[in-house]
């Protein structure tokens, strides 16, 4: 059936990208390989996680294990994601098909959404592995899985919006693997600080009501709305 309408065409382009990846296997395997290596390295180098300690009893200058593990989790996801984003337009660039894709009778925001949704699938696959690996290796317990899912979803929206936009910019250069992190990392600081802070609270056993009531959720939501809007609008200029 021929795809019609904005969402139908966007869906068709997303499926096209996912089918290419299923055949070529050039994006997800490197992302997962990076996540596997980092997770195993940390599992054998980091000490066992002690029981939660009250902040008042922590030595001066000490950092809670929950903060360290949450940081490593999201840094692993960050760099695995950048590996995937660098290949967002690899097929079109290699096959000189980017101009043909731009001729599709679809608004540029639809092209952006299609690429972003494909990247979302890859990021979710990496996150499932990373969270599972860290929870197993370090015997972590989360009292509210739905809240963790919400944190990951909000972080993913901003992460993917920024990553897809800058991937389009970097695709026009020869050193796209180097240019992409330089462009994207400064813009991604707020979303990852929020994600690390909220995840650390969950790992440390902070009551769900306290975690949900923190201002970091507002920061994530505001970041997602602002950056997704900017990315969708700026995408046309980025690919021209």
Q: Of the candidates 31, 223, 238, which has an alpha carbon nearest to the alpha carbon of residue 115? A: 238
Task: Report the number of distinct structural domains present in the chain.
Answer: 1
Under 8 Å between Cβ of 202 and 211: yes
Q: Mean of the pLDDT values across residues 205-233?
A: 88
Residue 54 resides in a domain:
no
Residue 202 resides in a domain:
yes
Q: What is the pLDDT of residues 17-71, one digit of tens each?
A: 899 888 888 889 999 999 999 999 988 887 655 544 444 343 433 347 788 889 9
Residue 190 resides in a domain:
yes
Residue 53 resides in a domain:
no
Q: Of the candidates 150, 86, 164, which has an alpha carbon nearest to the alpha carbon of residue 120? A: 164
Residue 68 resides in a domain:
yes
Under 8 Å between Cβ of 144 and 63: no
- Rounded Cα gap, residues 202 and 210, in angstroms: 10
- Rounded Cα gap, residues 65 and 77, in angstroms: 18
Question: pLDDT > 90: what percent of the chain?
Answer: 42
Residue 87 resides in a domain:
yes
Residue 102 confidence class, pLDDT cut points 50, 70, 90:
low
pLDDT recorded at residue 66: 80
48 half-sphere exposure, CB direction, 13 A CA radius: 3
Q: What is the pLDDT of residues 125-142, one digit of tens each?
A: 999 999 999 988 888 877
**CA torsion, points 131, 137, 139, 143, in degrees to nearest 10?**
0
Q: By residue range, what is the domain housing residue 220? A: 5-48+63-239
Residue 183 resides in a domain:
yes
Residue 57 resides in a domain:
no
């Amino acid at each position: 059936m021929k795809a019609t309408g904005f969402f139908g065409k966007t869906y068709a382009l997303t499926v096209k990208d996912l089918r290419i990846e299923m055949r070529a296997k050039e994006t997800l395997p490197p992302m997962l390989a990076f996540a596997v290596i980092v997770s195993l390295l940390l599992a054998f180098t980091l000490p066992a996680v002690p029981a939660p300690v009250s902040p008042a009893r922590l030595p001066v200058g000490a950092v809670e294990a929950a903060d360290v593990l949450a940081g490593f989790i999201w840094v692993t996801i960050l760099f695995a994601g950048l590996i995937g984003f660098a290949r967002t337009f690899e097929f079109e660039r290699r096959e000189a098909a980017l101009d043909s894709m731009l001729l599709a009778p679809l608004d540029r925001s639809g092209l952006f959404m299609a690429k972003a949704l494909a990247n979302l699938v890859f990021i979710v696959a990496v996150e499932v592995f990373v969270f599972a690996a860290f929870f197993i290796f370090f015997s972590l317990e989360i009292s509210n899985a739905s809240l963790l899912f919400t944190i990951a979803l909000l972080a993913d929206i901003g992460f993917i919006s920024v990553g897809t936009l800058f991937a389009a910019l970097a695709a026009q250069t020869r050193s796209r693997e180097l240019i992409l992190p330089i462009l994207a990392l400064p813009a991604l600081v707020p979303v990852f600080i929020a994600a690390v802070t909220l995840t650390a609270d969950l790992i440390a056993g902070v009551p769900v009501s306290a975690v949900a009531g923190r201002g970091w959720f507002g920061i994530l939501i505001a970041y997602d709305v602002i950056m997704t809007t900017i990315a969708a609008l700026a995408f046309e200029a980025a690919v021209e």
